[in-house]
């Protein structure tokens, strides 16, 4: 398809990659090489090494590359991010992100569920199971909304449904640069859960609380029991509204907001990438987190720095 489109005078300008993880790198490389922009489903690639190869290719190509970290497309997520950047909740003291699903609580990969089959297969999913599939969303959300960067973490990954090769549950303590602590918990074996992504950010002046199962609302908790609920579509909300307030928007609109930003970036507003739209840098960071967390958990490494200049994992004592 890419070869045929590249040969046409009116050929495709951009490619959307929506296949399982192991196909993200080869398709993205082929598209970039043919002069096309790329919008890819997360995670960027199946492994960190692949993500670094892709980063080099994106930078060399000068083309737009964006990742559909869907939750960054919600109006109230962008509003929370803008409030924190403006200092509205003071400085961030602590962050908790929870992502619970239950659809892999039974070995449905053995019962014909094709979406489960590739997700539990290291050859197609990559090195991370739950942590790569939804932990990467949680990690990206934590950094995207808070504006902080994870400096170090302790990871405890588990495989709770027997005979799986990859994790299906993960629990991570984090420290952000500057010292704020964070907790990331993600599971795909949390029986009965649907798609419960929650973000709670505690600042020195107020707490922000967002819950994916009510995505058009953002709670602002002030001291002395005073709470406010901000609603998408209201006049002072930063973040795109397609419908008047009170008309529910959801995942489709969040994806659409990301695709709209991508189109605007392709049409000349390249600064949207990284600023508002996750790009290859966010993709590499998430893959670094996934890969180092998998290894550090397996090794019982304890506190582990996320960034290592020499490329090696160095465990440090909590002190
Ligand atoms: N952004 C999000 O919130 C989000 C949500 C779900 C999935 N994803 C990501 O989207 C990607 C796909 O996940 P999914 O749940 O849609 O999977 P899926 O199994 O439902 O769909 C995968 C599709 O890829 C096709 N495919 C597989 N091998 C192919 C090949 N060699 N050539 C062409 N097509 C091929 C399959 O036929 C299928 O249509 C994954 O990378 C996943 O991590 C992102």
CA 234, CA 238: separation in Å to the nearest integer? Answer: 9
Residue 99 β-bridge partners: 186, 197
Residue nearest to atom 29 of ligand 1 (CA): 19
Helices and strands per DSSP (H, E), number in the chain: 11, 13
Residue nearest to atom 2 of ligand 1 (CA): 70
Q: Which class is domain 74-247+288-297?
A: alpha beta
From the CA of 24, how far away is ligand 1's center (Å)? 10
Do 72 and 80 contact (CB within 8 A), yes or no? no
- Give me the pLDDT at residue 183, please: 99
16 C-beta closer than 6 A to ligand 1: no
128 C-beta closer than 6 A to ligand 1: no
Ligand 1 atom closest to Cα of 68? 1
114 C-beta closer than 6 A to ligand 1: yes
Residue nearest to atom 17 of ligand 1 (CA): 115
45-59, 207-221, 235-249: segment of lowest average pLDDT: 235-249
Ligand 1 atom closest to Cα of 114? 19
- Give me the pLDDT at residue 239, please: 86
Tokens coding 158: 């588990």
Q: pLDDT, tens digit, for every residue of 272-284?
A: 999 999 999 999 9
Is this prediction's pTM over 0.85?
A: yes
CA neighbours closer than 13 Å in the CB half-sphere of residue 155: 29
Position 316 pLDDT exceeds 60: no
């Amino acid at each position: 398809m890419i070869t045929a489109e590249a040969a046409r005078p009116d050929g495709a300008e951009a490619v959307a990659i929506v296949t399982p993880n192991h196909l993200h790198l080869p398709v993205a490389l082929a598209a970039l090489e043919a002069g096309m922009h790329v919008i890819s489903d997360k995670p960027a690639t199946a492994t960190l090494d692949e993500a670094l190869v892709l980063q080099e290719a994106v930078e060399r190509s000068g083309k737009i590359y964006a990742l559909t970290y869907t939750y960054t497309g919600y109006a109230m997520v962008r509003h929370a991010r803008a409030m924190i950047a403006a200092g509205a909740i003071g400085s961030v003291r602590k962050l908790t992100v929870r992502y619970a699903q239950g659809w892999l609580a039974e070995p449905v990969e053995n019962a014909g569920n094709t979406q489960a089959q590739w997700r539990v297969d290291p050859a197609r999913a990559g090195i991370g199971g739950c942590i790569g599939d939804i932990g990467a969303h949680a990690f990206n959300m934590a950094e995207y909304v808070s504006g902080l960067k994870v400096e170090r973490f302790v990871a405890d990954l588990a495989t709770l449904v027997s005979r799986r090769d990859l994790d299906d549950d993960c629990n991570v303590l984090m420290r952000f640069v500057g010292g704020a602590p964070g907790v990331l918990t993600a599971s795909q074996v949390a029986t009965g859960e649907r798609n419960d992504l929650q973000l709670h950010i505690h600042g020195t002046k107020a707490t922000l609380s967002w819950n994916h199962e009510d995505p058009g609302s953002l709670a602002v908790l002030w001291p002395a029991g005073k709470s406010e609920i901000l609603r998408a579509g209201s006049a002072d909300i930063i973040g795109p509204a397609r419908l008047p307030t009170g008309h529910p928007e959801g995942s489709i609109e969040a994806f659409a907001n990301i695709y709209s930003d991508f189109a605007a970036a392709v049409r000349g507003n390249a600064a949207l990438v990284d600023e508002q739209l996750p790009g290859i840098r966010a993709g590499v960071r998430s893959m670094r987190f996934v890969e180092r967390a998998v290894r550090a958990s397996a090794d019982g490494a304890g506190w582990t720095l996320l960034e290592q200049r020499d490329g090696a994992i160095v465990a440090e004592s909590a002190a």
